[in-house]
Amino acid sequence: MSVGADLGYRPDVNSTEALSSWPTVGVAGARGMVGGVFCSILADAALPAECLRAFGHEEGNTVEYRGASVPVHVLTDERARELDVLFLAVDGPQSREIMAGPGVSVPLVVDNSSAFRLADDVPLVVPEANAHAARNRRGNLIANPNCTTAAVVVALAPIRDLAGLESVDLASYQAVSGAGRTGVDAFEAERGTSHRDRAADSPFHGRIADSVVPQIDVLDDAGWSGEENKIHAELRKILELPSLDVAATTVRVPVHTGHSAALHIRTERQTTIGELEAALRRAPGLEYRPADGSERHPMPLDIEGRDPVLVGRLRAIPGRDRGFALWVSSDNLRKGAALNAIQSAVAADPDRFGRLLPPPR
């Protein structure tokens, strides 16, 4: 049987040998918002359409990919055994179901949901901070962090390495696309309306257009939101600082794409703005902008569709020993989700998956 004969499209590569140099990549949730970004990044990396497997809730749909219509299938044990790597762009319950079934047959799975992030035997990875966790994993599963966590870690890792971290206080400003298509649809439905009601199917705790919503996820008995508790635990795990003093306030803002965060930190050891600035300038995955206004401060509009985490507004906090403030912006669908997952796969096995990284944007 010819390569791709059962996929519904003609091969766009001339030989089986050429295809064999690529891994076979699965994307579960391929028609969703994050799933679409996975496919876009893989297309930029030139993964042949014949090497992409798209999965969803039902048969009969397709995703457009590099000029081909790739059919969407239900993930079965048989289809899982064809894969070299599987990216999960689905919710927690679906991830658990997949990992209890067909996912066990895949050599490497990277899960974008919160289902396994805090499991002791599952590495939670941001490669700029803990690539070794992907390389040294014991099983076939890697967890992808919360979208805000991923961006913040890229900024904090070089500071941790330079002067240690004693405490991190942050306020996040999270785009509506972080809530998926329902979040974007609610935002678009509310924009330009004269009333102050939220959209009927809004996933937010209040109207998001022309406002901000200072609660993401449900509140616990102490008043912390689920999103805030995720960030607390994930920062400690990824940075390998289990006793880190951390407190987050997470806020949804009327921005389509691009999460931002204001960070107030205290280092363990004495350092200077100059030393911190030098560490941030040479850090991987990060684009530093000086606080003096000589360059535009990081903003969501500057980062949408791009790979790096933008860091700026670095300054010493007056009267606070070893206290510093900084500002971070990142594309929550790329570095906050799909790109970080692909980078984690590459960190786990550079020889097999290195080609999945596209030219930087």
- 158 with 301, same domain: the answer is yes
- 352 with 275, same domain: the answer is no
pLDDT at position 205 is 95
Burial of residue 14, with CB atoms counted within 10 A of its CB: 0-12 exposed, 13-18 middle, 19 or more buried? exposed
**Catalytic residue chosen out of the listed positions 132, 259, 264, 297:** 259
CA atoms within 13 A on the CB side of 123: 25
pLDDT at position 13 is 44
pLDDT at position 17 is 52
Give a yes or no: residue 346 inside a domain.
yes
Alpha-carbon gap, residue 92 to 100, rounded angstroms: 12
- 117 with 247, same domain: the answer is no
Which residue, among 221, 210, 213, has the nearest Cα to 178 in the 3D structure? 213
Give pLDDT tens digits for 110-128: 999 999 999 999 999 999 9
pLDDT at position 68 is 94
- 81 with 158, same domain: the answer is no
Give a yes or no: residue 186 inside a domain.
no
- 59 with 140, same domain: the answer is yes
Give pLDDT tens digits for 156-170: 999 999 999 999 999
Give the Cβ contact number of residue 26 at 10 Å: 27
Give the range of the structural domain holding residue 276, as residue numbers without chain letter. Answer: 148-175+214-330
Query: Residue 156 in contact with residue 236, Cβ under 8 Å?
Result: no
Give pLDDT tens digits for 222-256: 999 999 999 999 999 999 999 999 999 999 999 99
- 77 with 139, same domain: the answer is yes
Give a yes or no: residue 141 inside a domain.
yes
Tell me how many domains the chain contains.
2
Active site residue 39: no
Tokens of 158: 């070089």
Give a yes or no: residue 61 inside a domain.
yes
Give a yes or no: residue 169 inside a domain.
yes
CATH number of the domain within which 90 lies: 3.40.50.720
Give a yes or no: residue 85 inside a domain.
yes
- 295 with 315, same domain: the answer is yes
- 25 with 101, same domain: the answer is yes
Which residue, among 145, 214, 142, 125, has the nearest Cα to 173 in the 3D structure? 214
Give pLDDT tens digits for 194-212: 889 999 999 999 999 999 9
- 26 with 141, same domain: the answer is yes
Tokens of 276: 């911190």
Identify residue 294 by its one-letter amino acid code. S
Pairing between β-strand 286-288 and β-strand 309-316 as defined by DSSP bridges: parallel
Give pLDDT tens digits for 293-317: 899 999 999 999 999 999 999 999 9
pLDDT at position 293 is 87
Query: Residue 19 in contact with residue 48, Cβ under 8 Å?
Result: yes
- 290 with 157, same domain: the answer is yes
pLDDT at residue 11 is higher than 50: no
- 103 with 232, same domain: the answer is no
Alpha-carbon gap, residue 97 to 103, rounded angstroms: 9
Give a yes or no: residue 31 inside a domain.
yes
- 93 with 220, same domain: the answer is no
- DSSP state, residue 176: G
Contacts of 271 (CB under 8 A, 6+ apart): 162, 163, 322
Active site residue 147: yes
Give a yes or no: residue 3 inside a domain.
no
CATH number of the domain within which 163 lies: 3.30.360.10
Which residue, among 145, 143, 166, has the nearest Cα to 154 in the 3D structure? 145
**Catalytic residue chosen out of the listed positions 39, 51, 73, 147:** 147
